Amino acid sequence: MTEPNSGPDSTGALPDQRRPAPAEAAPGVVERGSFGAHGSGDTSGFGGLVRRPWAAPSAQRPYGQPFDDVADALEAVYPAFGDAVTKVVVDRGELTFHVQPDHLVELCRTLRDDPALRFELLSSVSGIDYLGTPDRLHSVYHLTSMTYRRRIRLEVSTSVEDPRIPSVTGVYPTADWQEREAYDMFGIVYDGHPALTRILMPDDWEGHPQRKDYPLGGVPVEYKGATIPPPDERRSYS
């Protein structure tokens, strides 16, 4: 990976804003189309898409300031840093630590309480579904240090078969509603959450609507005397 200290490329983009070259793309099977549509039933225009699995490459030191200061401070006060953090990514001006689930809570507590770090605010917890990859469900945490005016991200992955991640509500109470939303939309179970129930969908709803393999579904719509069927009946899906 290009070091953050080098200058902009021919497009004017700084190194941490660049997409990796094709050679850095994660290996995997090339997929075509979108939404599972194929054949003449695809009226979306997405049938011609070619999708190649991609994963952000690991960053190498120096990460650039203030990221090196954050990493150094965290390594100094968290002895299990090497086991807890599986990958460090610097991309688009953001620092991301990929964290093992069993270290998440203690790592958050360290980031919050240590005087050299002081990430007092958890501003967001969000879910991602990288369909077709191992441990495809990811939970992402955006942390802000009000003291030092810094922001970092933590990312934890889990499988669909056993989608469990420890809850951080005991460290950051703001995670309460945000973890509930990620549970509702992606089916990530946050162990230790005080009341992990749906927040957007009805309690008896089946499935998790923002997973990539969730069917579109829908209801028929009447428009000027014509009945338009729901999306899953208008196109051909796998």
Following DSSP, what letter does each residue of 54-79 receive, concatenated? Answer: --PPPP-S---TTHHHHHHHHHHH-T
Read off the pLDDT of residues 82-119 as tens digits, 9 standing for 90 and up.
999 999 999 989 999 999 999 999 999 999 999 999 99
- Where is average pLDDT lowest: 18-22, 106-110, 188-192? 18-22
DSSP conformational letter for 135: T
State yes or no: pLDDT of 235 exceeds 60.
Answer: no
Higher-confidence residue of 158 and 226: namely 158
**Mean pLDDT along residues 200-212:** 91
Task: Spell out the residues 6+ positions from residue 152 whose beta carbon is closer than 8 angstroms to its own.
Answer: 67, 70, 94, 95, 96, 97, 111, 119, 143
Rounded Cα gap, residues 76 and 95, in angstroms:
18
**Mean pLDDT along residues 183-201:** 96
DSSP conformational letter for 85: E
Higher-confidence residue of 44 and 189: namely 189
User: Tokens 């898409």 label which residue?
Assistant: 49
pTM for the structure as a whole: 0.75
Residue 237 burial (CB count, 10 A):
16
In which band, very low, low, confident or very high, does the pLDDT at 47 lie, cut at 50, 70 and 90? low
In which band, very low, low, confident or very high, does the pLDDT at 22 lie, cut at 50, 70 and 90? very low
57-207: CATH topology? Beta Polymerase; domain 2 (3.30.460)
Peptide bond into 62 cis (omega under 30): yes
